Each structure stands twice: as C-alpha cells, then as structure tokens.
C-alpha cells in the first residue's frame, strides 16, 4: 500500500519557503509524490497560512505560483464542520494542531508528517518528522 502522508503546515512552509536545514527532506518526499510513490494531503488551512507567511517575504504572485505547483502533487483536505467540531472537542492544547490531525484522519492518512511531533501526543496514526519518515523507508 502506498503511504498517504498528511503534511503539516510547518513542513509545507519548509518546502515552499526552502527553509534550511529542513528543505531537503521535504523536497525528497515531494519528489516521491511527484513520481506517484506516495500520496500527499494538506489541509485547506495550510494553504492560507502558508500564503500569508511566505507572501511577506516573496510577494503574493510568487507564492501563488508555488502553491499552484504544490497543489498538483497534494490533495486538499477540506476544513469541514465535522473537522471543526472534532477539533473543538479534542484534547489538543493547540486548536490548529487539532484541526490538522482531524483533517488527516478524515482523509484516511496513515502517517502525519510534521516537525512538531510532540504536539500530536496520543495520535492514533504515526507522527514523524520528514527525516524520520525517510529513515523509515530505508529500514523496509
């Protein structure tokens, strides 16, 4: 079975903002997605947050183009009423993390990729950093 990876906002920012030293690992994962070896899923919320943060440094047209290209390799998880309700009733201390997590579950992702693993304690799916995910592939 092909991994279906939910991509948290922070690692989406690492990729599209080419943030060193985190860019390389996410670029490899994006290449896997481009080749059809994995499926990527990103919440609609991440698109808005990524645009807002990157446009401060790169300009809105440049960021929109990056988002358009990224959208080719990543499915979008809608922020639905059900996801919001689950986020509001969850035990996550951070509401945004709760929304991301419940988007991942709703989209049947089998792994959540983030640099903030500690923020997803109690998750029912594995939560890995991009590097941890890449290392897990070497062990199979």
- Tell me which residue of 121, 125, 113, 123 sits closest to 29, measured CA to CA: 113
Q: What's residue 35's pLDDT?
A: 95
DSSP 74-126: EEEE---HHHHHHHHTS--SSHHHHHHHHHHHHTT-SEEE-S-GGGGTT-SS-
Q: What's residue 139's pLDDT?
A: 76
74-127 per-position pLDDT tens digit: 999 999 999 999 999 999 999 999 999 999 999 999 999 999 999 998 899 999
Number of domains making up the chain: 1
Answer yes or no: is 42 within a domain. Answer: yes
Query: For residue 8, what is the DSSP state?
Result: P
- Tell me which residue of 89, 87, 50 sits closest to 66, measured CA to CA: 50
Answer yes or no: is 80 within a domain. Answer: yes
Biggest alpha carbon–alpha carbon distance for the chain: 41
* CATH number of 101's domain: 3.40.50.1010
Tokens of 12: 């989406």
Whether the pLDDT of residue 1 is over 70: the answer is no
Gyration radius (Cα) of the chain, Å: 14
Rounded to whole angstroms, how far apart are CA atoms 53 and 86? 26
Judging by beta carbons within 10 Å of its beta carbon (0-12, 13-18, 19+), is residue 112 exposed, middle or buried?
buried
Q: What's residue 98's pLDDT?
A: 96
- Tell me which residue of 140, 113, 108, 106 sits closest to 129, measured CA to CA: 113
The better pLDDT of the pair 140, 115 is held by: 115
The β-bridge partners of 76 are 42
Answer yes or no: is 140 within a domain. Answer: no
State the average pLDDT over residues 12-20.
97
Q: 17 is in which domain, residue-wise?
A: 4-135
């Amino acid at each position: 079975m092909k991994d279906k990876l939910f991509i948290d906002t922070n690692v989406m920012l690492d990729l599209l903002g080419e943030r060193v030293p985190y860019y390389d690992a996410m670029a490899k994962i994006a290449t896997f997605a481009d080749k059809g070896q994995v499926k990527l899923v990103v919440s609609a919320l991440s698109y808005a947050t990524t645009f807002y943060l990157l446009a401060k440094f790169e300009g809105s047209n440049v960021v929109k183009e990056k988002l358009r290209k990224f959208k080719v390799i990543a499915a979008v998880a809608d922020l639905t009423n059900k996801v919001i309700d689950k986020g509001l009733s969850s035990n996550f201390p951070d509401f945004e993390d709760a929304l991301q997590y419940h988007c991942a579950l709703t989209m049947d992702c089998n792994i959540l990729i983030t640099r903030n693993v500690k923020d997803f304690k109690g998750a029912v799916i594995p939560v890995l950093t991009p590097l941890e995910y890449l290392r897990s592939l070497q062990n199979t």
